[in-house]
Structure 1
Amino acid sequence: MRQLLSLMGAVLLLSACQSMSSRVGTSPPPEGQPLVLGAKHGLRSAILEEERGFRVYLPTDYGTSSERYPVLYLLDGDEHFHHSTGIVQFLAGNSHIPPMIVVGVSNTNRGRDLTPPARDDLQMAEGVFRRPGNTGPRSYAQTFPTAGGADRFLRFLTEELAPHIEARYRTQPYRVLVGHSFGGLFALHVLMNHPQSFHAYIAISPSLWWNDGELVAGAVKSLERLPEQERFLYMSMGSEGEHMLGPIQRFAAELERARPARLAWRYSFLENDHHGSTPHRTLYDGLEALFEDLRLSQSLAREGEAEQVEARHARLTKRLGYAFPPSEELVNIMGYSLLRSGKVEAAVSAFRRNVERHGDSPNVHDSLGEALEAAGQLEAALASYQRALELGVKADKVHPAYQQNLERVLSKLATARDNAP
């Protein structure tokens, strides 16, 4: 009887747990404020003769500024949109890259859209796509019967999607293309055959084994056709086997030997990553490398190296093809560093440049006022503090320091007048 009661108790306990689990599982989640990562859109493509989906991420300050932004076009957009936009937001928030718009392009048939034409006269070796025991040799064309739509898909990107984005959002004339695996193959195909389409290319674990390494063999010859404006390439590969690693190593060796003009490039071997894990790390490192001058200018600004900061941004302007001066925040960092080092005139000069570039900001006038005050130019400092307060009231962004600085310099001027002979 005791065993029967114990058994009945266990059954009742299990039933209660299942009932509780069921109630917990079906209860609605607690309400909260949604976090918006981006928005889904669609576009009817006349070139591809189908509806194509895409996602758009906008920089955090897009709605409150009048700035224009470079655009990152992300292949396999549904799979990589979340982590990629997080990387862009994080790096931009730390001033390692400029804020960017991200367009994640959804797939319908990636084997068709991301590959150059498959050769029928080349037999595939046994490996990833041809298993031992298959009867008879198979060519690339037989193995991938729908392949070969890369140029058509590129026309969709450059003739339909990019104009659509550029007509609806504030963009800079700078496009970055990011692709993984077949997407990396596509990125390199575009760079070598249609390099004017994008300005920077990030090829992650590219499938360069395609057509027995055809792109590798013709790389240097193709890159002789690069446009005048410098192109940028960042490539990566994880520990993914010889069929993946061999071709990209040969490709990097060809680039190192030929050193094609107007191409800045880097290759990174990610020993601790596999094919599925390379995208996150590569995008982070690739964007940092693309905008390395911006990252390095941060430390130069903290050291008060005004000329070097300006030189880094001049290089960025040349690479990007549009004006990319030091930001208001960066110049402020540099100006205060100069001020703390006793280089007052240099600080005044730096803050004046900030006023010229960002004259609507109350902060730049307040900072200039501090430098002018330190230089003993009290009347000029007063004018700057008054302008900071005026703009702050107008924009409803009055910092307590604006009023405090104004009152302090007024007190100094009154004391100077009282002590005048």
Structure 2
Amino acid sequence: MLLVLSYATSSAQSKQLLNIGQSDTIYSKILKEKRTIWVQVPESAYSKTNHPNTYPVVYVLDGGVHFLSVCAVINQLSPGAVPEMIVVGIGNSENRTRDLTPTKVKEARGSSAWVKDSGGGARFTDFIENELIPYIDNKYPTANNKTFVGHSFGGLLVVNTFINRPELFNNYIAIDPSLWWDNEVLTRDITAKLASEKYKNKSLFLSIANPLPADTEKDINVLIKDNSINTEGLRATYRFSKIVSEATNSAVNFKYTYYENEDHGTIPLISTYDGMRFLFSWYKMSGKLVDIIKNPNTTAAALTTGFNTRFEMLSNHLGYQVYPEEEMLNNLGYMFMSHSPKKSLTFLKMAIKYYPKNANGYDSLSDYYRSQNDLQNAILYCEKAFAISGAEYHKNKLKQLKNK
């Protein structure tokens, strides 16, 4: 879920406005300038009763344009299809071309003026690595799992970082990247580079837009044979994608997708969605575990083993300890309470094991024992819930149980 920072109203407007994330600034000694960033933290991070949480971090270039859409995708997909994540949008300076291009060129696309300061990508990446990431890690509950997202020149920097500093991020999403830059400099020798062990356990999703009007050619096999300036970007990105996807010596988890009905401006949202689904394809609960949960003959031991296996896998993928969501365990406990009490008890005990400071888990166990006509344990667990919450609700519930 998203972090709602405030609701604002004005005399001229009665509707409530929802703000997502918060704005911040960081001064960069490397860039010698102040940079604006936007940060969204999952709402669960602020729960005082949940198990201490850390979260993967998504760093988004051109944050002023793409921060909200990336937040929206992650808020929609988490926690079922992707983990909850912190999102950091990185604002641009006045010289976007300087920051996002990996090499200096004298001319591009028939002009020299707009590229005179090009080639600052390495310095900008230094800022991200040595200043921004440590700042975010120090201020927010981050885990050591990071994703880098960029569009156009931002995608160019994402690919450059993937090639030259793959250790900086676990995952990369390059949205219609400008791989035509400097005569396709990033495609040179890419096959030989991919043989390195440093690309192991790294994932890259790359998208390609159709640069032509919607009512014209869509077949990529036709477009890659075109020699006009209109298809230069598509051809460059397609060449890079084919080389990487066909590299037999590569350990990279790679996928590229051509969107025939999306142009350079419309492609970011769908690319972010598909990219996140690809990068975290292993995250969604497997059918095997669902079958174990649904099977009426499943034992409590088998349930526990199934959940332990899943969350051990998630922990190994993400690089930090992952626990079952308290809400999920609680919901499953109530779902099975009437017709499969052993399953119900297993889930509710898990909730207390992982979230011992949460009164809700003890309250749910009280309801469980009440459903089994075990008044003594119903009172015991209601007392534990009340001891944590001090809530009037638990006080009154306890009184009702003792009067039975």
Superposed pair shares fold, TM > 0.5: yes
Max Rg structure: 1
Q: Distance in 2 between matches of 1:255 and 1:377?
A: 62
User: Alpha-carbon deviations, 1:156-197, whole Å to 9, x = none?
Assistant: 001011111222222222222110011111111111110111
Q: Distance in 2 between matches of 1:386 and 1:298?
A: 38
User: Alpha-carbon deviations, 1:196-236, whole Å to 9, x = none?
Assistant: 11121111111122233332343333333354872222221
Q: Give the one of 81, 93, 97 matched to 1:111.
A: 97
The yes-or-no answer on 1:364 pairing with 2:361 is yes
Change (3 A) 1:43 1:392: closer
Q: Secondary structure at the match of 1:35?
A: strand
Change (3 A) 1:376 1:207: same
Q: Give the one of 20, 39, 44 matched to 1:37.
A: 20
Q: Percent identity?
A: 29
Following superposition, the deviation at residue 286 of structure 1 comes to 1.9
The yes-or-no answer on 1:201 pairing with 2:188 is no
Is 1:230–1:319's contact at 8 Å kept on the other side of the alignment? no
Aligned to 1:146: 117
Change (3 A) 1:181 1:231: same
Aligned to 2:85: 100
Aligned to 2:225: none
Aligned to 1:18: none
Q: Distance in 2 between matches of 1:85 and 1:366?
A: 33
Ranges in structure 1 where 5+ consecutive residues have no aligned partner: 1-26, 131-137, 412-421
Change (3 A) 1:402 1:277: farther
User: Alpha-carbon deviations, 1:77-113, whole Å to 9, x = none?
Assistant: 1112232223333333x64333322221111222111
Q: Secondary structure at the match of 1:250?
A: helix
Aligned to 1:384: 381
Q: Distance in 2 between matches of 1:262 and 1:358?
A: 38
Q: Secondary structure at the match of 2:323?
A: coil
Aligned to 1:325: 323
Is 1:37–1:82's contact at 8 Å kept on the other side of the alignment? yes
The yes-or-no answer on 1:88 pairing with 2:74 is yes
Q: Where do 1:120-131 residues align within 5 Å?
A: 129-130=109-110
Change (3 A) 1:68 1:111: same
Is 1:238–1:269's contact at 8 Å kept on the other side of the alignment? yes
User: Alpha-carbon deviations, 1:368-421, whole Å to 9, x = none?
Assistant: 44555667766545433432343342xx384799659x729x85xxxxxxxxxx
User: Alpha-carbon deviations, 1:284-327, whole Å to 9, x = none?
Assistant: 22223333344335995597164555434322211211111221
Ranges in structure 2 where 5+ consecutive residues have no aligned partner: 1-9, 213-230, 295-302
Q: Distance in 1 between matches of 2:117 and 2:324?
A: 48
The amino acid across from 1:42 in the alignment is T
Q: Secondary structure at the match of 1:230?
A: coil
More helix by proportion, 1 or 2?
1
Aligned to 2:57: 71
Aligned to 2:227: none
Q: Give the one of 57, 61, 68 matched to 2:40.
A: 57
Q: Distance in 1 between matches of 2:356 and 2:287?
A: 22
Q: Distance in 2 between matches of 1:378 and 1:269?
A: 62
User: Alpha-carbon deviations, 1:60-92, whole Å to 9, x = none?
Assistant: 344444533222211011112232223333333
User: Alpha-carbon deviations, 1:314-343, whole Å to 9, x = none?
Assistant: 22211211111221122234444555663x
The amino acid across from 2:132 in the alignment is L
Q: Give the one of 267, 276, 281 matched to 2:265.
A: 276
Q: Give the one of 211, 228, 238 matched to 1:240.
A: 211
Aligned to 2:182: 211
Change (3 A) 1:326 1:145: same
Change (3 A) 1:297 1:333: farther
TM-score (norm 2): 0.77
Is 1:57–1:101's contact at 8 Å kept on the other side of the alignment? yes
CA RMSD of aligned residues (A): 3.5
Following superposition, the deviation at residue 349 of structure 1 comes to 2.6
Q: Distance in 2 between matches of 1:362 and 1:259?
A: 54
Aligned to 2:3: none
Is 1:301–1:309's contact at 8 Å kept on the other side of the alignment? no
The amino acid across from 1:178 in the alignment is V
Q: Give the one of 235, 243, 248 matched to 1:254.
A: 243
Q: Distance in 1 between matches of 2:393 and 2:89?
A: 39
Following superposition, the deviation at residue 254 of structure 1 comes to 3.1
The amino acid across from 1:68 in the alignment is T
User: Alpha-carbon deviations, 1:351-370, whole Å to 9, x = none?
Assistant: 22221111111222233445
Q: Distance in 1 between matches of 2:381 and 2:180?
A: 63
Q: Secondary structure at the match of 2:143?
A: strand
Q: Distance in 1 between matches of 2:382 and 2:211?
A: 61
Aligned length: 364
Q: Distance in 2 between matches of 1:91 and 1:151?
A: 33
Is 2:351–2:361's contact at 8 Å kept on the other side of the alignment? yes
Change (3 A) 1:397 1:191: farther
TM-score (norm 1): 0.74
User: Alpha-carbon deviations, 1:269-297, whole Å to 9, x = none?
Assistant: 22221101111111122223333344335
Aligned to 1:264: 253
Q: Secondary structure at the match of 2:117?
A: coil
Q: Secondary structure at the match of 1:163?
A: helix
Aligned to 2:195: 224
The amino acid across from 1:332 in the alignment is N
